[in-house]
Every structure is written in structure tokens, then in C-alpha cells.
Amino acid sequence: MASAFVLRIVVKRIYLKLLILSLGFILSAGCSVEAIEQAQDDVYKEIYDDVIDSQILYEEPVLLETEATQIRIVDEPITENQTLSSRFKERIKTTAQNVYELQIENTNVPSSLLEDTFTWDFEKGPVEKLHVWGVLQTNSNFEFYEDGDTNQKFKVGLINMLFDGKFRGGNEAFRLMLDPTPQSQTGFWHMFVQDAYIQTKRIPHHTVLFGNSRPGVGIEGAQSPYTLPLINRSQISRHFANARKAGIRVKGDYSLIEYDFGGYSSDTYFTEFMPGVEFNGWVNAKPLGKTDGRYGKVVLGGGIATGQRNSSDFFVAGANLGYEYKKFWMRAEYANADGSNGSTGFSSKQREGWYVTLGYHLTKKLELIARYDEFDPDKKISNDHRREYTAGINYYIKGQALKLVLNYIYVQTQNQSDAHRLLFATQIAL
């Protein structure tokens, strides 16, 4: 029992010190290179000493104390005589300890590992609070076609830098999101500025946005990429939505109803100056909104996205049904387009599609996902339907701030060879 106790202590200390090494480069502002290198050398030496100590007989630990069932490291307060290196080491150790102990159970909202560290409160000036954070997504894609072709690739799916601030007074806030992700189709500078808006909540139950944001076209089409249940969005979301546009947007949220209305330029990603205007509106009813979740949550709604781009009209109509009860949730969506203006660009084609996604939390950290997704890319052409059958596993190490995702997709295309895809993705938000 004693040796097992020592081993657990050593493993935890090594885990913390490896976090210290990785976070050292993030929190190194204000420290000299020599101080950083010396602090990291000290960590390497302590890790080595921990491994050696674990091989000797049990001794009562002098730097550790027990508190109920929790074991914690006793940190000495920083004194005036401490060196810059010691202060730096103490700062990193505290941050690593906080990350190690961080528990995030809500996976429906974005979260970050270092929110407290990178949030500043200002006593003077127009900005009262500022939170700076970033998100990195990577994925490996292995694709096998039944005609014998294969394709393997690794890519950085997303790099986002976000600046969320609140103006003094509490009713107004802003967001600036920059996206330096390498682009192959759209120009780098067109995609560099994503969210760029100011919002106000002066009207009860309402949020009004001015600027560039992702319009509410569909449920998954307007969802944050940081909380998507699967690596890829559904086909209707990929083609009809998921594009940011500049305009004015009004979001209302009551116990039994919520809505999202907006008027925008029909430009996407700053590629053209005012090629036309468009309207996006979506309304959801919540019939169980006053039952405190005893019977789950039901969302039933629909909406449209319509406008004109370069003298060409487009109109998309959709409907959705969602249900959530304890560990289980379900979402279904349908959309029909007579022309569209989503993330894949303007199209005059008549298209439609639908999907059903099911999710179940085996534990607070482990979630199983399944989806059936069907899409007709051109209703005037027969025999071109595309179906995707997806099974996925999400492991939330630290909620949406640190997660692993594994997806298997079986793709059936009527006029092409069937394909099997295996995707593995990671997400980290600092």
C-alpha cells in the first residue's frame, strides 16, 4: 500500500510538471530567456528525482499532505527574496495545478482551459473585462474507396484566436475572432476575420448584434464549431449555411419560444462589396419550457434564408425537431433550396436534404453519436443522391476545452464508388 501511495504521488507530480513545461511558453511574457530555460531545467531535474525516489523504500512525504481523499502539493508563498526563475516556476505550477483539477461537465457550450489566467478586469477605460483565448482543431482522415483507391491526409482543421470583451456598464459586449487557418480554396485574407461584432442586451430577453457573424440558418448550420457532435457538419449545413455575413441581427429567448432574425449583405467572407441583401429568420417553439426539464427538452421550429446576390435570387426553407432527456438527445433537420448562399458559395441549383442525429452519454466524459444524412445536390438530375452513415465517439477530457473525437463514415453516392472514412480529431481551447 505504501509503495502504491508513493507511485500515485510521483505520477501526479510528473503530470503537473509536464503541464508546466508545455504551458511555460504560453505564460512566459515578461521573463527572460535565461530565466525560462533555468526554470525548465529545474523541472526536468525534479522529474528525474521523482522517478529515482519511487524506487526506494517508503518514507512519509514532507511536501505533501492529505485532505480527506484529495492529495495536494503544499506551495510556499512567494517572498521578496525569491528569484525571477522561482516566481516564474511558481506561477506555472499554479496554472498547471488549476488545469489538472479543472472539471467541465457541460458540453453544450464552448469552454477553455485557461479562462481565469487570460481574463483581465480593468478599473478604468471603456472596456471592463477582456478574455483572450484560442482554439486548435486537427484531424487525420483515412479514406478507402470500394474501387480500390485510398487517400490519407492530416490537416489543421481550425485555428481561431478570440477576443471577447465587455464594455463598462454590463449591457454591451464585443467579439473579434481571427482565423489564420491555412486556406486552399478561399483566399487567406478573406477568411482571416470571422466574427467581428458588438452586441447589446439592453432589451430584456433580447440580444442585438451589429457586425459580422454566422446567421441562424438551421440549427446545426448556425452552431459553433467548438460544440459540434461530429467532425463534419451535416450536408445541408455545409451547403446552405455556416457562412458569416455582415448585418444586423436580433435574437430573442423566452421560456416557450426563441427566435433569430437578421438582415445582411449577401456577401460571404468579404469577397464582394454589397452584391445584394438577404434576410434570415428562424423560430423555435419550446413546449416543455416551463416544466423545469422534468420531461426533457423539446425544440420544434423552422425558418427561411432568402435574398439576392448579383441579381440572382435564392430561397432556402427548413424545419427542425430536437429532444433531450437526461443522457439522451436527438436532432432532426430538413431543408429545401431553390438557390442558396452558404459556405460553399452561391448556387442556383434546386437542392434538398435531411438528417437525423442521435447522441447518448455513457458517462460525463464519454459520448456515443450516430447520424443518417441524405442530400440531393441537384433535383433536376436523377441518380445523384449522396448518403452518409456516421458513427462517432467523443471523449471529453476537459469538456469542450480538451476533447478527442473518432468518426467512421460510410458514404454512398449513386453515381460514384462507395467510400469508407475514418477520422480522428483533437480539440484544445486555451
List the domain boundaries for the chain.
Answer: 2-101, 119-429
In eight-state DSSP terms, residue 78 is: P
Residue 262 C-alpha from the chain's centroid: 23
Q: Which three cell numbers stand for residue 202?
A: 439592453
Distance between CA atoms of residues 273 and 287, nearest Å: 42
The percent of residues in the chain predicted with pLDDT above 90, rounded, is 61
Please answer whether residues 71 and 9 qualify as being in contact, where contact means their C-beta atoms are separated by less than 8 angstroms. yes
Size (the chain), residues: 430
- pLDDT mean across residues, the chain: 84
> What is the per-residue pLDDT across 33-48, written as a single tens digit (0 to 9) for each?
455 455 555 544 554 4
Q: Pick the more confident residue, 415 or 380.
A: 380
286 has a pLDDT exceeding 70? yes
Burial 413-429 (b: 16+ CB within 10 A, else e): beeeeebebebebebbb
Span of 47-56, 144-153, 173-182, 399-408 with lowest mean pLDDT: 47-56
Taking residue 251's Cβ as centre, other Cβ atoms within 10 Å add up to: 18
Q: Which three cell numbers stand for residue 204?
A: 430584456
Question: Could you read off the pLDDT of 19-30 as tens digits, one per residue?
Answer: 554 555 444 444
Calculated CA dihedral for residues 138, 144, 150, 155, nearest 10 degrees: -10
- Tell me what the mean pLDDT of segment 132-158 comes to: 91
Topology (CATH level 3) of domain 119-429 = Porin (2.40.160)
Q: Which three cell numbers stand for residue 307?
A: 435574398
Looking at residue 62, what is its pLDDT?
A: 34
Question: What percentage of the chain has pLDDT greater than the value 70?
Answer: 80
User: Residue 305's Cα: distance from chain center in Å?
Assistant: 25
Matching residue, cell 445541408: 236
Which tops the pLDDT comparison, 348 or 70?
348
Q: Is the pLDDT of residue 72 over 80?
A: no
Q: Which of 134, 201, 137, 192 is nearest to 166 (CA)?
A: 201
Phi and psi torsions of 189, nearest 5°:
-70, -25
User: Which pLDDT belongs to residue 74?
Assistant: 44
| Per-residue pLDDT at 85 exceeds 50 | yes
User: Is residue 251 within a helix (H) or strand (E), and if so which, with residue range?
Assistant: strand 245-253
CA distance 374 to 269: 27
Q: 280 with 261: CB under 8 angstroms?
A: yes
* Dist CA 77 CA 265 (whole Å): 56
Closest CA to 369 of 347, 395, 344: 395
C-alpha span between 127 and 116 (Å, rounded)? 17
Contact 262, 251 (CB under 8 A): no
Which of 370-374, 410-414, 417-421 has the largest mean confidence?
Answer: 370-374
**Confidence (pLDDT) at 382:** 87
For residue 131 the three cell numbers come to 478574455
